[in-house]
Amino acid sequence: MKTKVQVIGAGLAGCEISHYLAQKGYFVTLFESKNVKPNPVQVSKTFAELVCSNSLRSNEITNAVGTLKAEMRLLGSLVIEAAEFAQVPAGASLAVDRVKFSDYITTKIKNNPSIEVVEKEVVDFDASIPTIIATGPLTTPDFQTKIQTLLGTDDFYFFDAVAPIVKKESIDMNKVFRKNRYEKGETSDYLNCPMNKDEYTKFYQELIHGEVAISHLAGEAELKYFEGCMPVEAMAKRGEQTLLFGPMKPKGLRNLDGANNYAVVQLRQDDAKDSLYNLVGFQTNLKWPEQKRIFQLIPGLENAEFVRYGVMHKNNFINSPKLLNLGLQLKTNPNIFFAGQITGVEGYVESSVTGIISAINLDRWLKGLELLTPPSTTVTGALIHYINNASNTDFQPMKANWGIVDDIPDLNKRENKVLKKTLLHERAIEDLQKYLNKI
Ligand SMILES: Cc1cc2nc3c(=O)[nH]c(=O)nc-3n(C[C@H](O)[C@H](O)[C@H](O)COP(=O)(O)OP(=O)(O)OC[C@H]3O[C@@H](n4cnc5c(N)ncnc54)[C@H](O)[C@@H]3O)c2cc1C
């Protein structure tokens, strides 16, 4: 008799999980709510719906998300199989006919005799059955409540308020200084970008006239969000001095030579490896090219490489650094795993790959084996290590990028960026293969 497992959510992650566990000999009950409880964003009747863009982004191996796809091929990803079946021309990107893509996955899932699909909204579940929760960024409100009860209200989030993140190696260290406000604390943790009045005025003018993105989730929820967490450009529009009392406050941040600054942008370390820094308080809804153009006016950031731009949208995700182990298993209840965007990764392929890793680990756990996650030399592993090690007081979602992947020592000195990324790719594939040999 097959062991029963349950998966909640037939999105990208949920379909990967069900497909993997059915292949491993389990009997999977897969719950999906959207056909009985529609939401305004997911409108098709089929599973693994791509809600916005039809692109799974770059396929180039020198791009971290391209390498992630190469890793997913090795992991036997159903999402990549479907994407290649439904591919449409899109240069170096893997874009799909979204209907064909979802139909392909839905047929595979529904025709699998080891998967029982139950079209209902889960509001509670039998936690004695091994369960993977993959209800995504649009988890239904009643199930949000259930998850909050399970985890605690403080560890379940409703919105992204993401400030941009830049690579430390791209910051001009001659222009910034290290200091904590009022020199509090034993170490100097923040990098500070000082501005004089002219620099501030120019920056301010560009910021208030910057082009903002139109949110896909405009409406009441977003308005509530803006009250709680103001985008930097919206705050700036309240008056020229507003930022000087908010995220660009110079007080307590004199230069190392004691000189006063007119304004200061603070950068805070974002990863355990100390390779990434975020712009503190700079959550933003500016279009991405505008973020690059305007934020590069900040002294020290003229050549900043952005590994993640600021975004603002509705997104349910949990405090993974606090709640999950590296196998994506809930620390307080090993019978429950989480996968997909709800873990705090962001993007179609990122969500899908956490589905595969959670399924691998549920299987291993049920067999009494050690949980295993690829190393952070792989893009898959780097994402999961990121959500595991990020700050649990200010956790925000992360996409695939080279900044979170372990660097190759001495590689920064090489001038050829393509060569560097090719080497990172080759190491990632080699290490993922080693991981596969272990599981
Ligand atoms: C509006 C919007 C636009 C986006 N655009 C992009 C984009 O262009 N590119 C990109 O890479 N990423 C985009 N994303 C992120 C994208 O949603 C995720 O990358 C991906 O779909 C998440 O996969 P998932 O499997 O975690 O969740 P989903 O694919 O959302 O799947 C979760 C499934 O769980 C179901 N579910 C929810 N609650 C319950 C319940 N109580 N009971 C049973 N089933 C339930 C849902 O109906 C859904 O089918 C966008 C997200 C949003 C919200």
pLDDT, tens only, 330-359: 999 999 999 999 999 999 999 999 999 999
- The one-letter code for the residue type at 438 is K
Among the ranges given (102-116, 224-238, 264-278, 422-436), the one the predictor scored with the smallest mean pLDDT: 224-238
Inter-CA distances, 217 with 42, 127, 181, 240, 403, Å: 12, 32, 36, 29, 29
pLDDT of residue 214: 64
Q: Going by CA atoms, what residue is nearest to atom 11 of ligand 1? A: 347
Rounded distance from Cα 32 to ligand 1 centre (Å): 12
Rounded distance from Cα 198 to ligand 1 centre (Å): 44
Share of the chain above pLDDT 90, in %: 72
Verify whether ligand 1 is closer than 6 Å to residue 266 (CB atom). no
pLDDT at 220 over 50: no
Residue to mutate (ligand 1; options 12, 59, 148; most atoms within 8 A of CB): 12
pLDDT of residue 92: 86
Beta bridge partners of 32: 119
DSSP 373-405: ---TTSHHHHHHHHHHHS-SSS---B---GGGS
Q: Going by CA atoms, what residue is nearest to atom 49 of ligand 1? A: 11
Verify whether ligand 1 is closer than 6 Å to residue 133 (CB atom). no
Q: Is 10 one of the annotated binding-site residues?
A: yes
Residue to mutate (ligand 1; options 17, 51, 216, 222; most atoms within 8 A of CB): 51
Q: Is 258 one of the annotated binding-site residues?
A: no
Residue to mutate (ligand 1; options 33, 124, 158; most atoms within 8 A of CB): 33
Verify whether ligand 1 is closer than 6 Å to residue 72 (CB atom). no
Q: Which domains does the chain have, with CATH numbers?
A: 4-160+314-438 (3.50.50.60), 165-309 (2.40.30)
pLDDT of residue 157: 80
**pLDDT, tens digit (0-9, with 9 covering 90-100), for 21-46:** 999 999 999 999 999 998 777 889 99
> Which residues are CB-contacts of 380 (< 8 A; sequence separation ≥ 6)?
68, 71, 72, 75, 353, 357, 374, 432
Rounded distance from Cα 341 to ligand 1 centre (Å): 7
Q: Is 9 one of the annotated binding-site residues?
A: yes
Q: Going by CA atoms, what residue is nearest to atom 5 of ligand 1? A: 52
Q: What share of the chain is helix, strand, coil (3-state, %, to 5)?
A: 40, 20, 45
pLDDT of residue 269: 87
- Cα–Cα distance for residue pair 71/77, rounded to 1 Å: 9
Nearest in space to 249 (alpha carbons), one of 291, 193, 184: 193
Q: Are 26 and 129 in contact (CB under 8 A)?
A: no
Verify whether ligand 1 is closer than 6 Å to residue 12 (CB atom). yes
pLDDT at 225 over 70: no
Verify whether ligand 1 is closer than 6 Å to residue 59 (CB atom). no
pLDDT at 318 over 70: yes
pLDDT at 169 over 50: yes
Helix (H, G, I), strand (E, B) or coil at 347: coil
Q: Is 436 one of the annotated binding-site residues?
A: no
Verify whether ligand 1 is closer than 6 Å to residue 165 (CB atom). no
**pLDDT, tens digit (0-9, with 9 covering 90-100), for 75-132:** 999 999 999 999 998 888 898 898 999 999 999 999 999 999 999 999 999 999 999 9
Question: With left for phi above 0 and alpha for psi between -120 and 50, is residue 92 left, alpha or beta?
Answer: alpha
Verify whether ligand 1 is closer than 6 Å to residue 135 (CB atom). yes
Nearest in space to 45 (alpha carbons), one of 82, 1, 10, 81: 10
pLDDT band at 73 (very low <50, low <70, confident <90, very high): very high
Q: Is 163 one of the annotated binding-site residues?
A: no
Verify whether ligand 1 is closer than 6 Å to residue 143 (CB atom). yes
Verify whether ligand 1 is closer than 6 Å to residue 58 (CB atom). no
pLDDT at 185 over 80: no
pLDDT band at 224 (very low <50, low <70, confident <90, very high): very low
Q: Which comes out higher in pLDDT, residue 112 or 396?
A: 112
Q: Which residue has the tokens 């719906």?
A: 49
pLDDT band at 226 (very low <50, low <70, confident <90, very high): very low
pLDDT at 208 over 90: yes
Q: Is 12 one of the annotated binding-site residues?
A: yes
